Amino acid sequence: MKSWLGIAFYTVLVVFSSLGNAAELADVIDGLRPSVVGIGTVRPVRGSHKPAIDFRGTGFVVGNGRQVITNYHVLPEKLDRENKESLAIFVGRGKSGRAMVVKVLRKDRDHDLALLEIIDGSLPAMRLGDAAFIREGSDIAFTGFPIGMVLGLYPVTHKGIISAITPIVIPSASSRSITAAQMKRMRNPFDVYQLDATAYPGNSGSPVYDRHTGQVVGVINSVFVKGAKETVLEKPSGISYAIPVRYVHDLLKSR
């Protein structure tokens, strides 16, 4: 009888423990959702009150509430100034989302990061973790816009763990297949996080955060890192990568 009571008590503890973890992540997401933004461009359309929108990726607000981090490759190569195109972030939720114009403050091409500034207004900022690498196996989540704004502005969250800390460049099987971009990165390699959750192109620039504290530990990268590490694969894998937050700290401190 006592053994059955012990098993029942243990089962109840496990159930309540998992419910508590679920609620904890839900609370974390509720707190950071206003800080996660879409990144793209807007331009006025003659005869319409709605601007033309080009969605390009995800970003998140940091620092003083006017600073936004995203991937460098998310930025357009140039803006159509003749037609009054502007770089913008998209905020809010659903079809009630709105655009806020931003400008580029600093770029870090080597680590595929960019720092933007909101021109008019501010938003709640996410907290950054410290510059030290977090341990492999740590629980993480990331929130962003994997399918863009096709259905409106609805952020999506994925969860997983840090699977590995790995160099950005893995040498190709043959020296003849090494690209110029790989050669450049091999001169200045750095470690990135490998995740066991799948990210999509619209997730580029999404914050990767500790599932329990909400502190940012990295920035999702769906193009720059994957292109360097998976060029030898016949088909792209479901592996995702993130740029460690230490390089966000460096970008915020640089002048």
What secondary structure does DSSP assign to 120-187, as a single string? Answer: S---PPPPBP-SSPPPTT-EEEEEE-TTTTBTBB--EEEEEEEEEEEES----SSGGG--HHHHHHHH
Average pLDDT, the chain: 82
- Supply the pLDDT for residue 195: 94
| Residue the block writes with tokens 């950071």 | 32
- Supply the pLDDT for residue 46: 84
Beta bridge partners of 167: 191
Phi, psi of 90 (to 5 degrees): -115, 125
- Supply the pLDDT for residue 9: 41
- Supply the pLDDT for residue 174: 42
Q: What pTM value is reported for the model?
A: 0.82
Q: Rounded to whole angstroms, what are the CA distances from 155 to 34, 35, 116, 146? A: 10, 11, 20, 8
Q: Using 70 as the pLDDT threshold, list the residues of the chain that sit under it.
A: 1-23, 151, 169-188, 223-238, 255
pLDDT tens for residues 14-62?
A: 333 444 455 599 999 999 999 999 999 999 988 777 888 999 999 999 9
- Supply the pLDDT for residue 198: 85
All domains of the chain in start order, with CATH: 139-253 (2.40.10.10)
- Supply the pLDDT for residue 50: 80
